Structure 1
Amino acid sequence: MWDKLLDRFLTGMMVQDRLSVTYPDGTTRDYGPTTGSQAHLALTGDATVRALILNPDLGLGEGYMDGRITPQNCTLDDVLEIIIRNRFAGGLPPWMLMANRARFHMRSFVQRNAPRASRKNVTHHYDISDDLYAMFLDTDMQYSCAYFRDDAMTLEEAQAAKKAHIAAKLCIEPGMRVLDIGCGWGGMALTLAGEYGCEVTGITLSENQLATAQKRADAAGLSDRIRFNLQDYRHTSGTFDRIVSVGMLEHVGVPNFGTYFDRVAELLDPDGVALIHTIGRSAPPMAHSSWINKYIFPGGYVPSLSELAQPLEQSGLWQTDIEIWRLHYAKTIRHWRARFDENISEISSMYDDRFVRMFRYYLTVCILAFEHQMQAVYHLQLAHNRAAVPLTRDYMYADDAVAEPMPLREMAQ
């Protein structure tokens, strides 16, 4: 029965490319036209076929992790690119559309992300090991989209360019009090304090990131200008001249968008400027990946701009600028995956095969999401005062100089 359902599903979905599937009984069936791209998957075990029918996204990811679904004479990229492209062109059967709608309407329950749950969610991903992240991130440990002003940039240069671009948008001046919501391993805070002379408060829910950020501040001689706290944004007090938040809004959850932007408004000085850097969808909202939610970012969600519009408007803040980065994140993650693969022997000595396949699948899925789906990065520049920033965008590009960050491994020695 499950073979027949999968056969029916793939027959309707594959309309642009050719996907060959070898079933557990050894038979191979071809789906889609002979034109376009081609890929071949081999399935092991009837449970694998059943999982693909009940939840294709979760079933495919888990099947690859477990070695029950394997590309044949092609790459994982080839397979996923074809699936993504034909999924939206060919459509899904009614039972899958109903399941997706149910998952979509469960967002408010799944993404409640109360402070204790948020702490647990962050620990799941960010407290794995600093050693793992150091093997594929840039030397400044920027775990967010870089800014490629040209294709020849290295990852280090593009990440430094990202920080410089954000600093320009914040109209940073020496002595300003800056709040960094979701400060990660401290790279942005170190840059704003060390290069721009700011007084920075960084908050995170990751104990690993907090410890590393504090070490880095001590090593850089910036402990008098930077304070890192293990703290939820909902529990932060005071007012700040500038607020920056890079890659944290994706962890807030739909039910909390109003709270998040209200807190930004409350914490921001009347003449202050905030810059929110977040992944977003340039399309109507849809159900989040159940595989990503289970294995990578529990409680996470990529919002559509329409979902942010109402809480932004209700916060009373001016949207003084909105910028959209389209392929920068795909370029960034391709650098990450290349470094991950370069260090695969060392990573494999630290983790089992299932974890390694999981993490590589995660990086690949994210690359293709930014290359083939309506996914981008948004920069939301916000202020109470419409005159808080210049009236033209020239000031954002006045200084293209970027500095070399301190390597994490060198700092730790």
Structure 2
Amino acid sequence: MVGFTPPQGSRTGFGSLLLARPDDAGAWTYAGRVGSGFSDEMIRRITRMIGKAGGRDPTVRIPANDTELRGARWFEPLFVIEVNVRGHASSGLLRQASFKSLREDKSVDALSDSDRRSGAQAPATGGSGRRTARRKGPKAPDETVRRLTSPERVVYPEDGFTKADVADYYAKVMDWFLPEIVGRPLSIIRCPEGLGGSCFFQKHHSGGMDEVGHVRLREESGKRADYLVVENAADVMALVQMNALEFHPWGARSDDPERADRVVFDLDPGPGISWDQVKEAALTVRDRLAEIGFQSFLRTSGGKGLHVALPLRPRSRWPLVKNFARAFAEALVASEPQRYVSVATMSRRRNRIFVDYLRNSRGATSVASYSLRARPGAPVAVSLAWRELGRLKQSDAYSLATLPARLKRLNADPWEGIDGLEQDLSRWEAPVQD
């Protein structure tokens, strides 16, 4: 997008957005305008992104006698949008363009560079219909950080952390983070306007995510849908470019979605529960699992609680996993009903710890180790060794600002060996219920 026309009538913000496409000489040529298809919220959002940018002098080559552009405001290519069109006029301009989406996954520089190298006719800045991107090999995270759009946008307003800070964080922890999510169906939490705006949960692959992997899975309704799957560091950074903050993988892999390789117990404290009580609960879960022959691993949630993760090898079918998790949680509650509860009802959770086993069913997710949380302070979910639990001050003890330094100090992965541990759930015998 390279400019806009003033709004008319009751409309605010802008009338039409002015689009351009790169040419072989490295310049930008006016491609037409788009004035329809915008929701009120999208008009407000784009208006904020434009801010006070713009002047009277065109920044691209424009038709000599287009009187409708006389009141336009122009600036250097600012961001990329995607539009639907009904062909091109004889002048080459877009015909009957309507807005489709804001393409925050694409930078202006990347669009111009890739199109000029290909020698193909380039779409407008803003896109002239959908392009299908070819998947490429891994891209260095620092390269993606350099191409980040709106890097100065504040994501964590109480702390001043920007989109660039988020991208820099994921680039720094990538070697630790990637093994926790790669090859698993994935849900993300996206915050396009930061924590000061609305955030939303997304599990399906959608428009604008051409560079991110996906797997087609059956849903409970019987229909099939494309789920997000991260395959490499470039995929992670593409999602960060699209304002992803949190990453929540399945306890199964995309090549075998009907069988789980992890069980996760989320210990969520209710009102009146101290941090020391949460730590004691984690140790109790660890010890109870050890009594039946299973080794477990510890993670902070980045919120108020702790996760105890149980790796499975060979993988187990979901009905068995769900039934085991439920039976274990209910047995824990039966042994100490004054301390634990296995139902999510808030009225029953005061002075108790909710042993959340519901994450252990097909399609359910848990936050990944080293994922940021969309909460003030930019806390991080962190894998820990059990010996570290005693001196841990709180679940959100590590943040975007402090975790990279911790990782530099570590001599070994706290979860080293988790994927190679032989733990067969099928030897746990109980009636399986769907």
Normalized against structure 1, the TM-score is what? 0.29
| Bigger helix share | 1
Relative contact order, higher structure (CA 8 A, sep 6+): 1
| Bigger strand share | 2
Normalized against structure 2, the TM-score is what? 0.28
Question: Rg bigger for which structure?
Answer: 2
